Copies of this chain bind each other. A is one copy, B any other.
């Protein structure tokens, strides 16, 4: 005789409710994967009925795409802020790599892997993935370009260098789960190394170099 007592309804402004749903969905996506972003799951999370989620998102896939977009968008602003107030480009880039080595970034990597796979079967999500890919790339590329303009960096092709950094980051992220295996510094530092070489920086300019070094 638990709950047939007619639920208490809490009515919220559409915009607020929608934001609430998206936030919950993004958290679930980041923590448990995009396939756990179901009407039922998110409804439970917010203690409402599944029908309510349907009311805001015509299709479950829309919600999934929105969850992915929200999660990756928020992380992007943390890692590569649009407005760079103080500090040199080198410092900003170094900060980026420092954060990219942290555990929070691993969760993000997992989400990307998740989305890359699901993209094949979900057109709406796929569009969101493509959008976010260019967002991340352009954000990083603009940092590189500004560094070049300021004379901090030196590269033949900022676009190519940006892509090279991203490829390495993705490659490292792919194994984010396999943290049981020992990862040598020369591997863990690959992204930094590629950046330093590609941007004409001194070794160690973008991140600390440990004792035993490669090459």
Contacts and interface: CB of A to CB of B under 8 A. Distances in A.
A183 B162 CA distance: 12
A175 B170 contact: yes
Contact of A117 (B113, B163, B172, B215): B113
A163 B40 CA distance: 42
A215 B156 CA distance: 7
B177 A119 contact: yes
A159 B198 CA distance: 24
Interface string A90-121: 00000000000000000000101110110111
Interface string A182-205: 011011001000000010000000
A157 interface: yes
A215 B214 CA distance: 21
7 contacts: A157-B184, A157-B214, A160-B214, A163-B187, A164-B187, A167-B174, A198-B215
Given A33-B117, A163-B187, A168-B171, 4 more contacts: A116-B177, A157-B184, A164-B190, A166-B171
